[in-house]
Amino acid sequence: MPTAFSPSDAAPVAPQAAAGNGGAVVISVDAMGGDRGPAAVVAGIEKSADKNPEIRFIVHGPEAELRRLIGKRREIAARCDIRDAPGVVTMHDKPSQVIRSAQGTSMWSAIESVRQGEATVAVSCGNTGALMAMSMLRLRKLPGVARPAIAILWPSRNPSGFNVVLDVGADIRADSTDLLQYAMMGASYARNGLGLERPRVGLLNVGTEEHKGRSELKEAQELIAAAADSARFDYVGFVEGGDLMGDRVDVIVTDGFTGNIALKTGEGTAKLVGDFLKDAFANSIMSKFAALLAMTSLKRLQKRIDPRRVNGGVFLGLNGTVVKSHGSADATGVSAAIKLAFQLAKSGFQDRLAARVAQAAEQAATAAAPAPGPTGDNG
């Protein structure tokens, strides 16, 4: 994962188009790079357009192909602006190689729309590493952020149904100040995305006792605890793998290596149990009949654990918001990612996050000084 783009080459970035186009919210969509090709992405656009009449789309990919796919759907054709970008980033491309020939790809073009302020949020199903590398190159990191993070909503026992977990794979490393930054950004996301006034933040470790874990975690523990009050979150201390889906905390902070493995372990386990459940009900005529009777309940369960329903990792710490959809997303998954992008765009999340991060950077710099009182903003 590239981290070589220093803040000194920060490019000018246009103001956010929070509600341009006569009250509509504009989402920039990379139609290529997903495992199921542009047809699934366009079907996802149609699905979300149906539900959210306020969205307009800028769709990036080979023009002829997109015209053919979108032209068939008269309801969305009028709300989609097509941008020709013949190049495609594949799942197997190395981020460092992609960057050299990035211009002309649909991914680059999708990010460019956010950079130029014609769209508020970009959505892509493509290669995570390449998407992060291009996002960093074109959008630049927010001042004070050393490592951006990918945050996801994790199904949980909390009333909202979700916890915020970050980083799940932007960078395999994170030092104590990165983890502090993640705590600030994660709390901001929980406030805007889950509507929690004062989120509870925990730091992922192998045990809850203070003496456990690596040295950078003990350092981060102190930094986060010191920042909690002025950043209006509660720091609950170390949490364990079993708290990711629990109700002890709302935001769980970890490095991108651990977070990525935890995420894939959780997804894999849910899928395994779901498959075992299917096996169990296919076992006898009696159990098949029972499954029929319980259909409504089982469908509700399936919806609750369906990873497509909460599809979308949000890149935090950049001058612009990018939503990474699962590579294998179908129309339902793409539509969920677009919905998330739409909600974040509407809430003015990017501006609030930037304000919060600026505050964090300032605090980290004056960590020893007494903390200021509540700021009263909603970041």
Instruction: Tell me how far apart the alpha carbons of residues 30 and 322 are, in angstroms, rounded to a whole number.
Output: 11
| Rounded Cα gap, residues 192 and 378, in angstroms | 8
Indicate which single residue of 85, 223, 227, 263 sits in contact with a second copy (rule: CB under 8 A). 263
User: Count H helices, E strands: the chain?
Assistant: 13, 11
**Furthest-apart CA pair in the chain: how many Å?**
70
Q: Whats the size of the chain, residue-wise?
A: 379
How many residues bind a second copy (CB under 8 A)? The answer is 63
Specify which residues 239 forms β-bridges with: 204
Residue closer to a second copy by CB (options 72, 304) is 304
Q: Which of 38, 61, 144, 155 binds a second copy (CB under 8 A)?
A: 155
Tell me which of 11, 14, 64, 294 binds a second copy, using CB under 8 A. Answer: 294
CB 131 within 8 A of CB 322: yes
Site string for a second copy, 310-339 (x = CB under 8 A): ------------------------------
Contact call for residue 362 and a second copy (CB under 8 A): no
Contact present, 125 and 31 (Cβ < 8 Å): no
Interface with a second copy includes 100 (CB under 8 A)? Answer: no
Q: Does 90 bind a second copy (CB under 8 A)?
A: no
Residue 35 touches a second copy, criterion: CB under 8 A: no
CB atoms within 10 A of CB 373: 8
| From 137, 298, 355, 371, residue interacting with a second copy (rule: CB under 8 A) | 298
User: Binder to a second copy among 61, 62, 169, 202 (CB under 8 A)?
Assistant: 169
Nearest distance, CB of residue 139 and a second copy, angstroms: 23
Q: Which is nearer to a second copy, 168 or 334 (CB)?
A: 168
Residue pair 107/30 in contact (Cβ under 8 Å)? The answer is: yes
Q: 172 or 355, CB closer to a second copy?
A: 172
Stretch that binds a second copy, among 10-18, 52-60, 262-270, 342-350 (CB under 8 A): 262-270
132: nearest Cα among 120, 141, 144, 145: 141
Q: For residues 105-144, which are near a second copy according to CB under 8 A? A: none
Stretch that binds a second copy, among 35-43, 112-120, 226-234, 279-287 (CB under 8 A): 279-287
User: Tokens in use for 172?
Assistant: 């395999």
Query: What is the x/- site pattern for a second copy, positions 211-250, by CB under 8 A?
Result: x-xx-------------------------xxxxxxx----
Contact yes or no for 59/66 (Cβ under 8 A)? yes
Measured between alpha carbons, how far is 141 from 11 in angstroms, rounded to an integer? 10
Residue 376, helix vs strand vs coil: coil
Residue the block writes with tokens 């630049």: 140
Exposure string over 289-312, b if 16+ CB within 10 A, otherwise e: eebeeeeeebeeeeeeebbbbbbb
Give the Cβ contact number of residue 214 at 10 Å: 12
Interface pick for a second copy out of 148, 256, 313, 320 (rule CB under 8 A): 256
Taking the C-alpha atoms of residue 109 and residue 61, their distance in angstroms, rounded to an integer, is 8
What SS3 state is found at 237?
A: strand
Among 51, 103, 157, 362, binds a second copy (CB under 8 A): 157
Of the candidate residues 24, 43, 137, 291, the single one contacting a second copy (CB under 8 A): 291
Q: How far is the CB of 132 from a second copy (least distance, A)?
A: 13
Does 4 engage in binding with a second copy (CB under 8 A)?
no
> With binding defined as CB under 8 A, does residue 301 bind a second copy?
yes
Candidates 262, 340, 353, 360; binder of a second copy (CB under 8 A) is 262
| DSSP-derived secondary structure letter, 315 | E
Residues lying near a second copy in the complex (CB under 8 A) are found at 92, 94, 155-157, 169, 172-173, 204, 206, 209, 211, 213-214, 240-246, 254, 256-258, 260-277, 279-281, 283-284, 286-287, 289-294, 296-298, 300-301, 304-305
